[in-house]
Structure 1
Amino acid sequence: MGLGKSIEKLDDYYGRLERGKVEKIKSAHVEKVIAKLHSKEKALKSDLAECSKDSKKKRLKSKLSIVSEQLERANWLLKKVQ
C-alpha cells in the first residue's frame, strides 16, 4: 500500500467516524495502516540518508512530514476505536 492509499484509508475511517459508524472501524485495520506508515517512514529516512541532491532531500523531507502527520491522525483514530 502506497502513501496515497494509506491516507485514503484513514480518510475513509475518519468519514465513518463522523457518520457515527465507529463500530465498522476495526482497530486491527487501523493498526495495519499504522504499521505501513511506519514502514514508509523508515524507507524514507533510509532514502534521505543516502541522498545527495538537495532537491530530492527537500522532497523526501516533505514526504516524511506528511507521514508523521498521518501517523498522528492514525494513532488518534486508534484511541477512538478501541
Structure 2
Amino acid sequence: MTHRSSFLKQHNDEAAVFQSFRDINELIQDTIELKRRQVAVESELKDMQGRYSELSVQFAEVEGERQKLEMNLKNRSPMRS
C-alpha cells in the first residue's frame, strides 16, 4: 500500500503542477489580451486627441470669422441710420 499511496501522491502532485502551469498560462494569455486592448484604447485615445485638436483649431477659426462679421455689422449699422 505504501507504494500505491506514493504513486497517488506523486500523481496528485503532478496533476497539481500541470494545473498550476495551465493557470499560469491562462494568466499570461489574459495579460497579453489586456495589453492588446490597452494598446488599442491608447491608439483610439490618440486619434480622439488629434480630432479634438483639429476641431479646436476649426472652432477658433470660425469664432474669429464670427467676431469679424459681428464687428463689420456693428460698424455698418451707424452708417445706415
Normalising by structure 1, we get a TM-score of 0.36
Greater RCO, 1 or 2 (C-alpha within 8 Å, sep 6+):
1
Structure with the larger helix share:
2
Normalising by structure 2, we get a TM-score of 0.37
